């Protein structure tokens, strides 16, 4: 019997990371945070002084990454045994991830690694191309969207709560720029799979989104 996979794709700030984590916990399934892999690849490249535009060198690096997701909910990320969970969450790390993620060779290098996360009893896979490229046979596919303004406000609130100064207009601008890069790239662009259920989370609570996803799973 094949392992059930639930994919959740969508732009940054749509809430898919939170929803994926909570769903995995609720279902007792594994979690794949594919964005973290691109963030870590970029971090590893920067640490080695590799230019983020050097596709061949970064693909080679991605193919041999020593990455592990540990902890009860598999959200603690180790690179070469070092906990980099916080470091990869910055805006700059997201930008750098989006640059390396645009190289087809880097995506190829991470493909098999991502596929191996599908293990019993099931997998919740969060990303941009989970339903379209990595797990096209997924049991259920969700595309979680929200307007750039709502996503910007969420990010702005998060940063304020952490005591970090932020400019809302700038954040919304950055979000639009990253969306544009992720949607326009020729390989594995951000888009809903034809058979995905599209949920707009702009005016929904996390609980409402969870309920909707569980209903799609028949739970």
Q: List residues binding ligand C5P (CB under 6 A).
A: 12, 34-35, 38-39, 94, 97-98, 101, 127-130, 178, 182
For the CB of residue 134, give the shortest distance to ligand C5P in the complex, in Å. 7
Tell me which DSSP letter residue 79 carries.
Answer: E
Of the two residues 30 and 128, which places its CB atom closer to ligand C5P in the complex?
128
For the CB of residue 218, give the shortest distance to ligand C5P in the complex, in Å. 25
Contact predicate 185/102, CB 8 Å: yes
Q: Cα–Cα–Cα angle for 46, 47, 49, nearest 5°?
A: 60
Contact predicate 77/84, CB 8 Å: yes
Of the two residues 94 and 152, which places its CB atom closer to ligand C5P in the complex?
94
Of the two residues 12 and 201, which places its CB atom closer to ligand C5P in the complex?
12
* Residue that has been written with the tokens 């910055």 in this structure: 90
Query: By beta-carbon distance, which residue lies closest to ligand C5P?
Result: 35
For the CB of residue 158, give the shortest distance to ligand C5P in the complex, in Å. 13
Q: Are strands 67-70 and 140-145 parallel, antiparallel or unpaired?
A: unpaired
């Amino acid at each position: 019997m094949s392992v059930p996979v639930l994919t959740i794709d969508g732009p940054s700030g749509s809430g898919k990371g939170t929803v994926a984590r909570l769903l995995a916990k609720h279902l007792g399934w594994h979690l794949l945070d594919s964005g973290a892999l691109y963030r870590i690849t970029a971090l590893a490249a920067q640490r080695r002084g590799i230019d983020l535009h050097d596709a061949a060198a970064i693909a080679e690096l991605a193919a041999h990454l020593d990455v592990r997701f540990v902890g009860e909910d598999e959200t603690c990320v180790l690179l070469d045994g070092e906990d980099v969970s916080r470091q990869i969450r910055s805006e700059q790390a997201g930008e750098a991830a989006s640059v390396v993620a645009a190289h087809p060779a880097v995506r190829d290098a991470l493909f098999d690694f991502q596929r191996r996360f599908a293990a019993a009893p099931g997998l919740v896979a969060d990303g941009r191309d989970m339903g379209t490229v990595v797990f096209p046979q997924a049991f259920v596919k969700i595309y979680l969207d929200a307007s750039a303004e709502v996503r910007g406000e969420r990010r702005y609130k998060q940063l304020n709560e952490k005591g970090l100064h932020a400019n809302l207009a700038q954040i919304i601008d950055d979000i639009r720029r990253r969306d544009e890069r992720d949607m326009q790239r020729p390989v594995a662009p951000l888009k809903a799979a034809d058979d995905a259920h599209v949920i707009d989370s702009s005016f929904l609570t996390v609980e409402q989104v969870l309920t909707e996803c569980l209903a799609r799973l028949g739970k």
